[in-house]
Amino acid sequence: MQGVQTIGNATLIAYDDTPILSTDPWMGGDHYAYFGSWYLPYEIPNNIREDIIKSKYIWFSHGHPDHINHDSLNLFKNNQILVSEHFGSRIYKDLKAENFNISILKDREWTNLSKNISVMSISTKTQDSILLLRSNNDIFINLNDAGLNSSKFIKKIISKFKRKFLLSISSFEADMLNFFDQDNNFIKPAISNKFSAGEYLSMLANVLGAKYIIPFSTFHEYQRDDSVWVNDYIYPIEKVHEGISKKHIYIKPFSFINSIKDDDFFTPDIKKKKLEIKPSSLFGDNWTDELNINDKKIIENYFNKFLSFKEKIGFISFIVGGKEFNLKFNGSKDKGISFEVPRNSLLTACKYKIFDDLLIGNFMKTKLYQLNSLYDPSADFTHEICKFGDNGQAYSKDELNKYNNYYAKKMGKEYFLDLFATASKDHFKYFFKNYQNSKYYEKLKKVYYYLLK
């Protein structure tokens, strides 16, 4: 048996007679993510579950709990854990402290795991990772949530392979969607009426030169009573194939790809669970709980570390238990963010430096003041707090400069191309507040992907 099986949320199992490698194993069941907001609705068959656990190597792409799930993590004490080479090495240090057998893959270099399986890890500036996996003469491009980073480098590396398989997230709701205006009206995401998962995956495949497309890193549902509303924005997996271009071959999720025999793809019958809505109180969140003095100190100490960010924004306010707690910073007084959030999850996010989990959980309510998004280039909350700060442990201007130089050195000239493409995209969003409705949106999107090609 030689080939690759996809399963779960973002799990790829590579076989060379025996299971050699499994990626991002979130095992489902009662192993939830994002403070109980997400559950895995597609059951992992027992035989495949056993293969994941028996895999010699386990690779983790990044720290989000649908990729490194702490409940599932305990099943892999006897495996060799592989992670990417990142600034700060947070995942490596955290798992090493928990006595896992862990090592760091040398960035952009092939590592042989068996006779017919090799991997190359590519770290990204946002503390995510891309994995290129060779199975016999096939190449699997596991983008998971990383998007198109180092696309020219990847295209060059994979050019010699006959069959190229793209695996990537294909949703827009796996981020903060729970925005409200100043009159407390929900702001419906404009992209929800335009997004085509198949078209998006085909654009990625075009850039990288891949022919085969496998939906990946997209299989979750919301189950908390305060986040279940987001299920209306999950892209139906049965519609993904509708937008795939004719020059690409669509492979169903949860399929086995035989790396010895061409066109041998097998998809087992995977059962989907029925949604059971669970109260937020089951996960320790009571929306009436208020902050005490010690709680406020924890929150204040957490945000005071972000020295660079504090110069860009005037305030962050937290509405907890119906009462407001304000943090004042050094930026423009009218520029800020308001979060309405339950006490327990807020404190957990601050204590364990996982604020991104609050955003992605989508039960916290967010209001923006003089900001167009949490990615607004004038402040860039998500990157500076969650990616560079929490994960990269870079807080001051000097630390951020070192952080940027670290990734620039890895990527060489392509770093500046990616930077230009991303900055152009961010500034387009900045100047066009409801940018998905702009008449220029489709044209700019095509230009963005052309730059990365």
Q: Render pLDDT for 44-101 as a digit per residue (tens, 0 to 9).
A: 999 999 999 999 999 999 999 999 999 999 999 999 999 999 999 999 999 999 999 9
CB of 38 closer than 8 Å to CB of 62: no
pLDDT band at 450 (very low <50, low <70, confident <90, very high): low
pLDDT given at position 440: 45
Q: Is the pLDDT of residue 128 over 50?
A: yes
pLDDT given at position 427: 41
Q: What are phi and psi of 224, to 5 degrees?
A: -70, 145
- The structure tokens listed for 316 are 């962050």
Return the higher-pLDDT residue of 195 and 322: 322
pLDDT band at 449 (very low <50, low <70, confident <90, very high): low
pLDDT given at position 416: 75
Looking at residues 419-445, what average pLDDT do you find? 50
pLDDT band at 429 (very low <50, low <70, confident <90, very high): very low
Return the higher-pLDDT residue of 262 and 420: 262
**Least confident residue range of 232-241, 334-343, 425-434:** 425-434
Query: Distance (Å, rounded) from C-alpha 435 to C-alpha 442?
Result: 10
149-169 pLDDT, tens per residue? Answer: 899 999 999 999 999 999 999
Alpha helices in 258-396 (DSSP H): 293-304, 343-352, 355-361, 381
pLDDT given at position 212: 98
pLDDT given at position 192: 76
Q: Is the pLDDT of residue 251 over 50?
A: yes
Query: Distance (Å, rounded) from C-alpha 174 to C-alpha 286?
Result: 24
Give the helix/strand (H/E) hosting 92. helix 90-97
Query: Distance (Å, rounded) from C-alpha 205 to C-alpha 198?
Result: 10
Looking at residues 231-245, what average pLDDT do you find? 92
Looking at residues 283-290, what average pLDDT do you find? 98
Query: Distance (Å, rounded) from C-alpha 349 to C-alpha 320?
Result: 14
Identify the DSSP state of 282. Answer: G
> Which among 305, 282, 171, 189 has a CA at the least distance from the CA of 234?
171
Q: Give me the chain's average pLDDT, please.
A: 92
User: Percent of the chain scored above 90 by pLDDT?
Assistant: 83
Q: Is the pLDDT of residue 349 over 80?
A: yes
387-420 pLDDT, tens per residue? Answer: 999 999 999 999 999 999 999 998 887 877 666 6
pLDDT given at position 116: 97
pLDDT given at position 453: 55
**Least confident residue range of 79-88, 169-178, 304-313, 365-374:** 169-178
**Least confident residue range of 120-134, 188-202, 357-371:** 188-202
**Least confident residue range of 61-75, 331-345, 357-371, 438-452:** 438-452
User: Percent of the chain scored above 70 by pLDDT?
Assistant: 92
pLDDT band at 423 (very low <50, low <70, confident <90, very high): low
- The structure tokens listed for 3 are 């080939």
User: For residue 66, with 0-12 CB atoms within 10 Å meaning exposed, 13-18 middle and 19 or more buried, which class applies?
Assistant: buried
Q: Is the pLDDT of residue 379 over 70?
A: yes
Rg (CA), the chain: 21
Query: Distance (Å, rounded) from C-alpha 104 to C-alpha 86?
Result: 9
